[in-house]
Amino acid sequence: MGKKKETISLIDTFSEFNELKNIDKATLISVLEESFRNVISKSNGTDENYDIIINPDKGDLEIWRNRVVVGDDELEDPNLEITLSEAQKIDQDFEVGEEVTDEVSLDHFGRRTILNLRQTLASKILELEKDNLYNKYKEKVGEIVSGEVYQIWKKELLLLDDEHNELILPKTEQIPSDFFRKGEHARAVVARVENKNNNPRIILSRTSPVFLERLFEQEIPEIADGLITIKGIARIPGERAKVAVEAYDDRIDPVGACVGMKGFRIHGIVRELRNENIDVINYTNNTNLYIQRALSPARINSITVREEEHRAEVFLNPEEVSLAIGKGGANIKLASMLTGYNIEVFRDIDEVDEEDIYLDEFRDEIDGWIIDQLKRIGCSTAKNVLAMGRDRIIREADLEENTVDEVLAILSYEFEDENAPEVMANNEDMDAESDVTDTGADAETDEGGEN
């Protein structure tokens, strides 16, 4: 009775795995047959004379053994041969030399063998399922998937897809303002699939430019149909993004099609990205024009492109510089990412101050990277820097306070004569305050002495 239960349990295992793991029938049959043949081979020395018939739909199997009929006193291998008298018990018409096929039950192999077989099958099918999961998501890299938030940890989220496969959304791949509750659904793009020790790990991302590109494809029919092509994307996740688009048909306005009437089409994308501000611009092969569009809304006077250095010098009116740079330098950073050029912004001054000095001449006194930071925020000369002011430089150039103070001191020294009266006046005021303080202190001392 115990063996019968083990046999039924083993067959139930086949049916269970086939139903829950979604393994295709051909692969399942192959794994099962290989496992049984290994058991038969270990028990009898060979499996060549066995036929195994597996029906995964019903969760059952049949094992048939083929043996040659020999005389009653000629039996050498009971696994390959059967005596004439035994054969005739099956059918009286059997004769020596003919082949007899009879069914072998699982009980024939013993309880321990069946238990080992069940464990082996479970292990093999689990490995097969992991391989299938890896291959399935390997083909989905770059596609958007959705999952239910199952666990929330400090460094990552665990999502479950429709088949209860585990998906990982690391904190580093989440938009800074992302907030999810358990049971909610989250969308992300499959960034990569890792497979360490045959343990697939599916990594998702919501910060990847590919995620934004796939959202555009889902929301903009013209992009999905191939009428509009996305030529480039640059993102600062959750803050701002720039997308360059191009239409193959001149009758289509690519920017208008992407934004939609009153921004209707792009609103869904913006909401998904936690109100990320998205600029859509027309792509062009003209490098100067492309950089100009990438720096919008700033209006540019002129551009000098240095192809060999992959660098562009952009000249604007002073009031346009802050627009070109953007809040926290976001606009110029995205424009550089989108175009592939290192963009430097300069104030375009009609009348050149002959007494002014270009920052590059201070490289012996000021580190080059500091000068480059100052040039990026539109300061090309010493007076540009002095006119901008300490607090604004700290904020926009992202420099330490001590560093800015040292730079201002070096630059101010070059115009010492111009600033001397103001500095002297300040010193005189300080001396006067000092004299008053000293006098007051002396007076108190004197009074104390008289008392």
Output the pLDDT for position 8: 45
Output the pLDDT for position 378: 76
Superfamily of chain region 140-207:
Nucleic acid-binding proteins (2.40.50.140)
Output the pLDDT for position 428: 39
Average pLDDT over residues 12-39: 68
Output the pLDDT for position 421: 39
Output the pLDDT for position 321: 86
Tens digit of each residue's pLDDT (9 = 90 or more) over 74-96? 888 888 888 988 888 888 888 88
Average pLDDT over residues 105-134: 79
Looking at per-residue pLDDT, the higher value among 38 and 165 belongs to 165
Least confident residue range of 19-23, 195-199, 326-330, 401-405: 19-23
Tens digit of each residue's pLDDT (9 = 90 or more) over 168-207? 999 999 999 999 999 999 999 999 999 888 889 999 999 9
Average pLDDT over residues 368-394: 83
Output the pLDDT for position 180: 94
Q: Is the dihedral of CA 240, 246, 252, 253 positive or negative?
A: positive
Looking at per-residue pLDDT, the higher value among 110 and 277 belongs to 277
What pLDDT band is residue 10 in, cutting at 50, 70 and 90? low
Looking at per-residue pLDDT, the higher value among 107 and 53 belongs to 53
Tokens 């050149």 belong to residue = 352
Structure tokens given for 293: 């569009």
What pLDDT band is residue 39 in, cutting at 50, 70 and 90? confident
Share of the chain above pLDDT 70, in %: 84
Looking at per-residue pLDDT, the higher value among 159 and 41 belongs to 159
Least confident residue range of 138-147, 261-270, 435-444: 435-444
The three-point CA angle 5-9-10 to 5° equals: 120
Looking at per-residue pLDDT, the higher value among 90 and 216 belongs to 216
Least confident residue range of 189-198, 288-297, 355-364: 355-364
Give the CA radius of gyration of the chain: 40
Task: Tell whether the model's pLDDT for residue 348 goes beyond 80.
Answer: no
What pLDDT band is residue 434 in, cutting at 50, 70 and 90? very low
**Mean per-residue pLDDT over the chain, rounded:** 82
Task: Tell whether the model's pLDDT for residue 439 goes beyond 60.
Answer: no
Q: Which of 241, 240, 247 is nearest to 221 (CA)?
A: 247
Looking at per-residue pLDDT, the higher value among 64 and 7 belongs to 64
2-135 shares its CATH topology with 140-207: no
The Cα–Cα gap between 278 and 219 comes to 14
Looking at per-residue pLDDT, the higher value among 359 and 203 belongs to 203
- Domain ranges across the chain: 2-135, 140-207
Task: Tell whether the model's pLDDT for residue 384 goes beyond 60.
Answer: yes
Output the pLDDT for position 166: 94
Tens digit of each residue's pLDDT (9 = 90 or more) over 226-247? 999 999 999 999 999 999 999 9
Output the pLDDT for position 450: 40
Average pLDDT over residues 434-445: 40
Q: Which of 248, 239, 236, 255 is nearest to 293 (CA)?
A: 255
Average pLDDT over residues 153-177: 94
The Cα–Cα gap between 210 and 279 comes to 16
Structure tokens given for 60: 């059952």
Fold (topology level) of 2-135: N Utilization Substance Protein A; Chain:P; domain 4 (3.30.1480)
Q: Which of 6-15, 78-87, 270-279, 369-378 has the highest mean pLDDT?
A: 270-279
Q: Is the dihedral of CA 321, 323, 326, 327 positive or negative?
A: positive
